[in-house]
Structure 1
Amino acid sequence: MQQRFLDRSRHRARSVLKLSGDRRHDLTASIVVFLVALPLCVGVAVASGVPAELGLITGIVGGLVTGLLPGSSLQVSGPAAGMTVLVYEAVQEFGLAALGALVLAAGLLQLVMGALRLGRFFRAISVAVVEGMLAGIGLVLIAGQLYAMADREAPASGLAKIGGLPELLAETFGSGRALTAFALGAGTIAVLLLWRRMPGVLRTIPAPLAAVALATGLSLLFSLPVATVEVQGLIEAVQPPGSGAFGELATVGAIGTVLAFALIASAESLFSAAAVDRLHDGPRTDYDKELVAQGAGNTVCGLLGALPMTAVIVRSAANVQAGARTKASRVLHGAWLLLFAALLPAALGLIPVAALAGVLVHAGCKLVPVRQVAGLWREHRGEAVVLVVTAVAIVSVSMFEGVLIGLALAVVKTAWETSHVHIEVVDKGAGPIRAHLSGNATFLRLPKILDALEALPQDRPIEVDLSGLRHLDHACRTSLENWAARHSADGTEPVRVASGV
């Protein structure tokens, strides 16, 4: 009896020590994630054409709402660079007042998809389309933020942004103010690239925070004539959607934007979850519950008029690498963002816009998978084509249409690759000619089938054996019947078709 009591006491002591250790690791990780998230939340908001505080609000909701819900234990949510282009387009088309309604509708759609257990099906989306989507976003983001680095207004379309870069370069070198801002942004990128080579003590500071802090310090020290973030206060930035904003949702353009918000945010979040699961040995992600958690977060963001959220791989990886053990770390990071926004909002007004643009140019470069494209071209050229076409379509047209084009191309590519059909003609010189078809006969291979059959002699009996086909679609069946009828009418011998499907 006494021994049993001692064993229970030891077990409880070990549990308490483990819990205490988890809390210590989670507290440390939450501070690291907060320091990583702070400049990114502000930068994504500014790049999206909305007040900087709205990025912080989305980060706060990602921690305090989504962070508390089940799904993925270590994944961190907030505003993402991958949604910047789409949000900017939505704000330009519908206005800032309608943003909350669009995000709210997207969040509710995510909740419905999660309740219907559709989360797992997002893993069926072509990886080439997702990478092409991110590459297109990255290219537009880089081009747009190069203008912000020079304190210039970027053109509206992706092609105009890229086409105007030579003129931007000329104007930048012709203006001392623009050149100063651009140099500050370029210096920010240089710090981000070189920070990993710094001594170990300095590397404990997240690179984005260090880069923005250094740029802000230089701007203040030398009173540089550069644009800084406009601050209006946390409460003032909250803009719940009004009744007029919901009226916008009845338009075709708004419905397309809502679908794009929901589908792209969900895909990015669930792909991020798969990547984060590979970084730790803890509980695996429940994709349906994670989709519900993301939907709940976006619903709250919509009610507050904030940016849409996704799970963000940069913050999530920082969370895991900092030693997080439970979801407490991501919840605490939201609390730190709330404290900063409530107590130090004026600090945002000191940050140069060019520095934040430099951070986003660096983030955009990471979205463009140059090495993956080269590898895909060597091994799977069809996938490489889908990736490149999706990226080019997003740059040329828009985010939503570009993704639809990529998905359609991926479906066509898959249909073409799976519809292989082999035609074997056996002609022994005596008796009927036998044409044996095997594989999958679809309308995509119909020209090949008809060319082979029409090349057969018209004055000999022909037997067409379809028993080797795994699939014969309606178009092929109808065409084969029509060909057989024509051959029998024109030739001296009828056609006999032996169907096996």
Structure 2
Amino acid sequence: MQNGNSIFSRLEVKKYILKKNLKHDLPSSIVVFLVALPLCLGIALASGAPLFAGLITGIVGGIVVSSLSGSQLSVSGPAAGLTAIVLGAIAQLGGYQTFLLAVVLAGVMQLILGLLKGGTIGNYFPSSVIEGMLAAIGLTLILKQLPHALGIDSDFFGDESFFQTDNENTFSAIGNAFSHFSLAAIVISGLSIAILIFWPKFKKLSVVPAPLLVVVLGIILTIVFQNTGYALQAKQMVEIPVVNGWSEFTALFTTPDFSKITDSKVWVVAATIAVVASLETLLSIEAIDKIDPIKRVSPTNRELIAQGAGNMVSGMLGGLPMTSVIVRSSANVNAGGRTKMSAIFHGGWLLLSLLFIPGIINMIPLACLAAILLVTGYKLTRVALFKHMFHKGWDQFIPFVITIIAVLLTDLLKGVAIGMLFSIFYLLRTNMRNPFFYKIQEEGNKKNLRIKLAEEVSFLNKAAIQVVLTKIPKETNVIIDGTNSRYIDPDVLETIFNYKHNAYTKGIIVSLENIKTQYIVPKLNSKIIEEINN
């Protein structure tokens, strides 16, 4: 009976939390929906896939992945970082249905990776690199959405590469937009930004979400400008497939071709998608946890399992591979989302908009959606962040800046990899400088040198210790103290013992205190690991 009461009380607590956060999650879900909608379409277009495939992926990412995920703020959907892989894979495999099989298999691989605790890789991304990645995403949003805010961009919505597929680069696209801007788009985006900034400051009015007001205003102004010489063109508007009836809707779905399951090319593509999508997801999860106001920590292994399930469902329905996406997740955080219900609702809005109001959705100008992303981008790359990282020191600031530049000029994974290299360099540099502390005492004509080793002495410290030992003058008493050391690498131990053996030739007497001949790294209890990962 007591157990039944306990279950009942837990359900009551969950209901209370859901009700309490609904006033935050519902408005936030609308913002995420408005951000995700054009991005889903743009990424599908960039990938050479049907536009409907992008919407399926967004719907599955919102409803299926968010339901299974342990992250409260992450939003999943088609990712710009996978467009080149998808575009090449569809051509290589000779058909979209064969590609869908690779997506399903990639999901299976991610599921297995999550069960094998592969998500722990995410714990090793340096903070400076994650902060740099977030700032780079913010700058990318600003640079890429400026043309849309000005009303001119011949490229698809969602191309995040510096060198675009329309033979433009980021800066030339902005220059072109300033040369051929649309007055209607500028008015819409300008008023939208003003509303997004100032509307939330009025507490009584902020019951109505600012992004929703921006969209309504955008539709009204679009209608107003239709009767003037400044009317917006079709390419400056959102465009989703219009379905007339259930039969047309079901006809949009595509199923995988399982007859190609023995094709080695399919498995290679599946493995590539699984690895890249998993890395992007882990990076995104780490980044979103950093900007979570409540500072919750998402279970990475559970996230891989959720992503795997999502990709399996997406592939079965005709969708694209998905990841946790920083842009949509950041918009969720900035809009005040509190729990995973925000992401789940956004998936529902995508589905409902496709079924019931495609005509109204197609009246939304891209300029007002660009305004939402511009404000989101500014919050990610605010000046205060650069000051904060600078005050942390060069070993944090330089990897931070390098990551920003690398992500802007290449892509997310390459940029983070370059930032990681610089971060590792500074980590090695710091470790090599701090393997020990020393104190010199003089007794008559002799000097006593006490070298106190650090708590952790790895093979990276070997060179620094060797340099110090070789520079010790003759006729010196040396005490090497390992009292505080929990672990000393075998290479370092060998160096110390060899030095003690040979030092007498220089008249140096070496004493070792609390140094073992072997150190064993203690293993974590399996139950503790399971609790941590779950």
TM-score (norm 1): 0.73
Q: Deviations over 1:299-357 (max 9, x none)?
A: 32243323624383543675756xx8xx7776555444322211222333333334333
Q: Distance in 2 between matches of 1:121 and 1:28?
A: 35
Distance 1:146 1:318, change over 3 A: closer
SS at the partner of 2:362? helix
Q: Distance in 1 between matches of 2:358 and 2:110?
A: 32
Q: Distance in 1 between matches of 2:105 and 2:31?
A: 29
- Residue of structure 2 aligned with 1:297, choices 298, 310, 314: 310
- Which residue type is aligned with residue 359 of structure 2? A
- Residue of structure 2 aligned with 1:258, choices 274, 277, 289: 274
For the pair 1:174 / 2:179, whether they are aligned, the reply is yes
- Which residue of structure 1 aligns with residue 322 of structure 2? 308
Distance 1:266 1:26, change over 3 A: same
The alpha carbon displacement at 1:217 in A equals 2.8
- Which residue of structure 1 aligns with residue 223 of structure 2? 220
Q: Deviations over 1:81-103 (max 9, x none)?
A: xx44x134445554594875675
TM-score (norm 2): 0.69
Q: Distance in 2 between matches of 1:40 and 1:462?
A: 69
- Residue of structure 1 aligned with 2:30, choices 35, 39, 44: 35
- Which residue type is aligned with residue 387 of structure 1? F
Q: Distance in 2 between matches of 1:101 and 1:357?
A: 34
Q: Distance in 2 between matches of 1:183 and 1:341?
A: 28
- Aligned pairs (5 A) from 1:30-429: 32-48=27-43, 50=45, 53-69=52-68, 71=70, 75=73, 77-79=75-77, 83-84=79-80, 86-91=81-86, 93-94=88-89, 97=96, 104=104, 107-117=107-117, 122-123=122-123, 125-149=125-149, 150-153=151-154, 158-160=161-163, 164=169, 167-175=172-180, 177=182, 180-181=184-185, 184-197=188-201, 200-201=204-205, 203-223=206-226, 224-226=231-233, 227=235, 228-233=237-242, 238-240=253-255, 242=257, 255=271, 258-269=274-285, 272=288, 278=294, 288-303=301-316, 304-306=318-320, 308-310=322-324, 312=329, 314-315=331-332, 331=344, 334-368=347-381, 370-418=383-431, 420=434, 421-425=436-440, 428=443
Q: Distance in 2 between matches of 1:376 and 1:76?
A: 24
CA contact (8 A) 2:457 2:489 kept: yes
CA RMSD, 1 decimal:
4.7
Q: Deviations over 1:437-472 (max 9, x none)?
A: 5225545445543443333446x4765636457354
The alpha carbon displacement at 1:429 in A equals 5.6
- Which residue of structure 2 aligns with residue 4 of structure 1? none
Distance 1:63 1:171, change over 3 A: closer
- Which residue type is aligned with residue 465 of structure 1? I
Q: Deviations over 1:190-246 (max 9, x none)?
A: 332233245734x33333333233223322321224322343356566555557798
Distance 1:273 1:300, change over 3 A: farther
The alpha carbon displacement at 1:384 in A equals 2.9
For the pair 1:436 / 2:460, whether they are aligned, the reply is no
Distance 1:393 1:148, change over 3 A: same
SS at the partner of 1:350? coil
Q: Deviations over 1:19-53 (max 9, x none)?
A: 99888778877753552233112132244353664
- Which residue type is aligned with residue 306 of structure 1? L
The alpha carbon displacement at 1:400 in A equals 1.5
Name the stretch that deviates more: 289-298 or 423-432: 423-432
The alpha carbon displacement at 1:392 in A equals 2.1
Name the stretch that deviates more: 309-318 or 385-394: 309-318
The alpha carbon displacement at 1:371 in A equals 1.9
Distance 1:102 1:412, change over 3 A: farther
CA contact (8 A) 1:37 1:59 kept: no
CA contact (8 A) 2:100 2:256 kept: yes
Q: Deviations over 1:137-194 (max 9, x none)?
A: 3333332333444432459784447x955544543343255x6545544443333223
The alpha carbon displacement at 1:261 in A equals 1.6
